């Protein structure tokens, strides 16, 4: 499988790239995002043959379709080393919980940092270590986080050979538990940098550094943000795993269909759903849920994508979805536009820079929300909705959901259809966002035993202004 950029790459730089090239690369040199040259189609017989496979084996089958430059035996071993009961708490890895008739919760947050990002990041840690050893290279990972990405990356990379992590986070904006998780790591290859600003300032610094190609090459800068294709690919697997658990497997003329509801921020998680659907997984609707930061909900209602400023970005009680622009969204728009790289480059390059957003023509936008098109639906949620949903889930189903999952559940219930199971992706455990759970239920959510008392551990972090040059200097000094 070869990979292409959503912006077409300049003509002098059209060397086809394999998976292991883009694994370590992040953004494409033209500023676009990498996607496979095509999506492999899964026919009904193959789909049926995957039912019942252990998660690691399912992951191996799916990844194999996109990775042909890692020997199969090695890829299989990496999948098996990643998706273990020991790391993810259950043999199913992403067990499904039934809430109501046709309404399910898929648990994606039983990994080391209690958020779904572990699902991809744990694999990425193993892939990076493998690939760097194979090439005899080192990598300095530069990332931006509003909380969950950073801790997931650090727990995946800590102590790994040949890898250092430089993680930017907005000073004072993460939950106390998230801060404790990240800043308590004492591993020498982990650097926490707290930035005076919001998440998008952090993300802008990462982009600025990545766009300095000379610096990037000289210091072997890589990324683990959700723009990394390998992360997205790893996430495709649990859409299949959820599908198999929610459907019976009875032989029918047309395969059963399910819908997924996805608490969304940077459009990484739901973009993996879009890939799964494009491969032929029978997904009826991909229901996108936002919080008060409703950039994406607005797009799917209107066809207008309007990036918000830092000042317009709300600080909410589902903070991992507090984004003003969605870094993976370009991938979907590229597909929506029939993979027209020129039009994508115009929209996400010049038009966005000039006008702060764009509106698609109605014939361009129409397939986005049609079931015979891309199948998206959307909705948004407020703090009051979040509290009400957390209470209702607790009272009706004795289930404690975190604030992000609550946003997904709220919007999912607005899109239920008879005969189509709805799977809500649980993106974090309640213990990560305890304050809102206490507000809703008057109960303190308990973290798993291994993480109790983490708030009292000693911390390591460096405070810096939102200045890309200063961050570059810090990396110069600490990257050897
Ligand atoms: C990252 C995150 C999200 C948003 O996922 P995207 O892939 O950025 O859309 C939602 N919920 C939680 C808990 C997260 O950590």
Which atom of ligand 1 has the smallest separation from the CA of 323? 8
Contact 415, 287 (CB under 8 A): yes
The percent of residues in the chain predicted with pLDDT above 90, rounded, is 81
Q: With b meaning 16 or more CB within 10 Å and e meaning fewer, what string describes 306-319?
A: bbbeeeebeebbbb
Which atom of ligand 1 has the smallest separation from the CA of 264? 9
- Strand ranges (DSSP E) for 245-310? 258-263, 283-290, 304-306
Which atom of ligand 1 has the smallest separation from the CA of 269? 7
18-29 pLDDT, tens digit each: 999 899 877 888
Quick one: tokens of 174?
A: 């993460």
Cross-strand pairs, 381 = none
Ligand 1 is surrounded, with C-beta below 6 A, by: 115, 117, 148, 226, 263-269, 320-321, 404, 427-428
How many CA atoms within 13 Å lie on the side-chain side of 79?
24
CA dist 183 to 193, 299, 416, 455, Å? 9, 36, 41, 10
Name the one residue in this structure whose structure tokens are 């189509």.
Answer: 420
Distance 252 CA to ligand 1 centre (A): 35
Model confidence at 249, pLDDT cuts 50, 70, 90, reads: confident
Cross-strand pairs, 286 = 260, 376
81-139 pLDDT, tens digit each: 999 999 999 999 999 999 999 999 999 999 999 999 999 999 999 999 999 999 999 99
Supply the residue whose CA is at minimum distance from atom 8 of ligand 1: 266
How many C-beta atoms lie closer than 10 Å to residue 148's C-beta? Answer: 28
Quick one: tokens of 380?
A: 């948004």
DSSP conformational letter for 459: -
What pLDDT is stored for residue 155 in this prediction? 95
Pocket test for ligand 1, best of 106, 107, 108, 117 (most atoms within 8 A of CB): 117
Three-state DSSP string of 316-380 = CCCHHHCCCCCCCHHHHHHHHCCCCHHHHHHHHHHHHHHHCEEECCHHHHHHHCCCCCCCEEEEE
What pLDDT is stored for residue 211 in this prediction? 87
DSSP conformational letter for 193: E
Supply the residue whose CA is at minimum distance from atom 15 of ligand 1: 148
Between CA 100 and CA 308 the distance in angstroms is 37
User: Is 321 a residue whose pLDDT tops 80?
Assistant: yes
Please state the separation of Cα 168 from the chain's center in Å.
Answer: 17
Please state the separation of Cα 26 from the chain's center in Å.
Answer: 14
Model confidence at 12, pLDDT cuts 50, 70, 90, reads: low
What pLDDT is stored for residue 11 in this prediction? 63
Name the one residue in this structure whose structure tokens are 């020129």.
Answer: 342
């Amino acid at each position: 499988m070869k990979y292409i950029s959503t912006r077409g790459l300049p003509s002098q730089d059209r060397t086809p790239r394999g998976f292991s090239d883009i694994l370590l690369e992040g953004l494409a040199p033209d500023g676009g995002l990498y996607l496979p040259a095509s999506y492999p189609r899964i026919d009904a017989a193959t789909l049926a043959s995957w039912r019942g496979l252990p998660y690691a084996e399912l992951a191996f089958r799916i990844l194999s379709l996109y990775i042909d430059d890692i020997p199969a035996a090695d890829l299989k071993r990496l999948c098996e080393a990643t998706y273990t009961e020991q790391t993810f708490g259950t043999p199913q890895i992403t067990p499904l919980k039934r809430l109501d008739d046709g309404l399910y919760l898929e648990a994606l947050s039983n990994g080391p940092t209690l958020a779904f990002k572990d699902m991809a990041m744990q694999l990425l840690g193993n892939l990076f270590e493998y690939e760097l050893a194979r090439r005899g290279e080192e990598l300095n990972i530069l990332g931006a986080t509003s909380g969950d990405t950073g801790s997931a990356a650090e727990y995946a990379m800590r102590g790994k050979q040949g890898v250092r992590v430089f993680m930017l986070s907005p000073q004072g904006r993460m939950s106390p538990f998230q801060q404790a998780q990240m800043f308590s790591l004492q591993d020498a290859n982990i650097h926490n940098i707290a930035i005076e600003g919001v998440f998008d300032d952090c993300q802008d610094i990462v982009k600025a550094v990545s766009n300095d190609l000379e610096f990037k090459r000289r210091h072997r800068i890589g990324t683990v943000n959700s723009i990394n294709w390998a992360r997205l690919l790893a996430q495709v697997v649990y859409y299949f795993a959820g599908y198999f658990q929610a459907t019976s497997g009875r032989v029918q003329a047309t395969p059963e269909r399910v819908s997924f509801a996805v608490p969304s921020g940077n459009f990484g998680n739901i973009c993996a759903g879009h890939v799964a659907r494009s491969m032929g997984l029978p997904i009826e609707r991909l229901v996108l849920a936002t919080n008060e930061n409703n950039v994406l909900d607005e797009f799917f209602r209107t066809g207008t994508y309007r990036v918000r400023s830092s000042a317009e970005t709300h600080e909410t009680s589902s903070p991992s979805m507090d984004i003003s622009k969605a870094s993976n969204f370009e991938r979907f728009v590229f597909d929506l536009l029939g993979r027209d790289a020129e039009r994508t480059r115009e929209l996400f390059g010049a038009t966005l820079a000039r006008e702060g957003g764009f509106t698609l023509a109605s014939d361009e936008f129409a397939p986005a929300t049609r079931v015979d098109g891309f199948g998206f639906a959307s909705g948004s949620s407020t703090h009051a909705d979040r509290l009400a949903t957390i209470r209702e889930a607790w009272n009706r189903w004795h289930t404690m959901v975190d604030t992000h999952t609550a946003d997904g559940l709220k919007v999912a219930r607005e899109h239920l259809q008879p005969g189509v199971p709805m799977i809500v992706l649980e993106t974090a455990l309640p213990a990560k966002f305890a304050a809102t759970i206490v507000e809703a239920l008057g109960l303190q959510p308990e973290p798993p035993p291994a993480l109790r008392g983490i708030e009292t551990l000693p911390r390591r972090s460096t405070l810096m202004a939102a200045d890309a040059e200063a961050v570059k200097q810090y990396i110069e000094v600490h990257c050897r």
